[in-house]
Amino acid sequence: MYRIYIDDTALIISESLPGGLGSHQQISEAEFDFMKFYRLVKGTPGSVNVLLTKEPKLFFKKIRKLFMVIKAAGGVVRNDENQFLFIFRKGKWDLPKGKLDEGEKTKKAAVREVEEECGIKVSKLGDLLCKTWHVYEEKGQVVFKKTTWFNMKAKRQELVPQLEEGITEARWLASGDFNYIKENTYPLIRDVISLLEV
């Protein structure tokens, strides 16, 4: 199953209907045109759209190869007091992440971005948590952004938000505060949070 986000709209490409979706719209595979779909949902209120296909991986690859792919990496950082690191950027709660430098390995980029955006030292890079896809426009071109997320550990330390990246706050929050975060974040970040075992 592939889940692609355009703003607050989700496009799910799957072999079968995922459980617990709630309100959603089913899309015909035969008539699907990604650019038409993108233009239709861009800037409109969020919705969940499901495209059922026998070959989700092939279908997704067919769409993706038409566009430039930007690779990014980030982390879900837990401290020794079982709190998680969140940042506040562009009016929403987010997780630290950023684009890979040319030739940079994904794991190295994930740690670098977390450390730069929050002014901390990561003590341990853990295992892969998930990969997410986000579609947006950069310099007039539609791009697919693939973010690889890792579990990380860090000692509780003073946070220094990277203001030049538009980050106005960095904060340690307990899992009990996740609902507070979910009220003002992106659906993609809600998906990542839902994977945390706390």
* pTM of structure: 0.93
pLDDT in tens, the chain (198 residues): 999 999 999 999 999 999 888 899 999 999 899 999 999 999 888 899 999 999 999 999 999 999 999 999 999 999 999 999 999 999 999 999 999 999 999 999 999 999 999 999 999 999 999 999 999 999 999 999 999 999 999 999 999 999 999 999 999 999 999 999 999 999 999 999 999 855
For residue 197, the model assigns a pLDDT of: 58
7, 43 contact by CB (below 8 A): yes
Q: Where are the domains of the chain?
A: 2-64, 69-194
**What is the Cα–Cα distance from 95 to 106, expressed in whole angstroms?**
16
For residue 19, the model assigns a pLDDT of: 86
For residue 98, the model assigns a pLDDT of: 97
CA 94 to chain centre: 9
For residue 22, the model assigns a pLDDT of: 87
What CATH superfamily is the domain 69-194? Nucleoside Triphosphate Pyrophosphohydrolase (3.90.79.10)
Q: What angle do CA 109, 3, 176 make, to 5 degrees?
A: 70
Count CB neighbours of 63 within 10 A: 20
